[in-house]
Amino acid sequence: MTYRVCFVCTGNICRSPMAESVFRARIEEAGLDGLVEVDSAGTGGWHEGDPADPRTVSVLETNGYGSIHAARQFQTSWFSRLDLVIALDVGHLKALRRLAPTAADAEKIRLLRSYDPAAGDDLDVPDPYYGGMDGFEECLELVEAASPGLLTAVREQVEGQVA
């Protein structure tokens, strides 16, 4: 049975496609591809069908990650097929919880940085869209820092399903 993870930000052109690319690479490195499906979406549909922001693509490619992407808006109906919904900031977390049709669906929603023990109380990945490249580089650093903890949590779930 495939375990499904979806990363969610605002427009699905900066943070969530970056998190999707990084986590997909971690899944492949861990030998879990085929067992875990990773994708992303936005809370809004402003950029639907667009590729990732060129600065996201640049940062990903510079750091050895893939960057093929088409933006899409998160749909309430997806909760039924997703196992984990990863919000990139508290605003996305709240928006997703409002969309969740059941309490069980709301329990599937987590903040990405909650998987980074060094994050402390600052669990938002700041939106780099209106800034320069340094914001995109910081975004990548924060995503990479949270990925090992997320991978551990997902591995535990996947191994629990297989057992």
Tokens of residue 115, six digits? 């998987």
- Give residue 49's region: left, alpha or beta (phi > 0; psi -120 to 50): left
Separation CA 71–CA 50 (nearest Å): 5
DSSP state, residue 130? T
Residue 33 a catalytic site member: no
Q: Which helix H or strand E contains 37, and what residues bound it?
A: strand 36-42
Cα→Cα distances 162→27, 34, 69, Å:
16, 13, 30
Catalytic option among 9, 53, 55, 89: 9
Active-site residue identified among 14, 15, 24, 124: 15
Structure tokens at 132: 């320069």
Element spanning 3, H or E: strand 3-9
Catalytic residue among 4, 50, 97, 127: 127
Answer whether 126's CB lies under 8 Å from 138's CB.
yes
Catalytic residues: 9, 15, 127
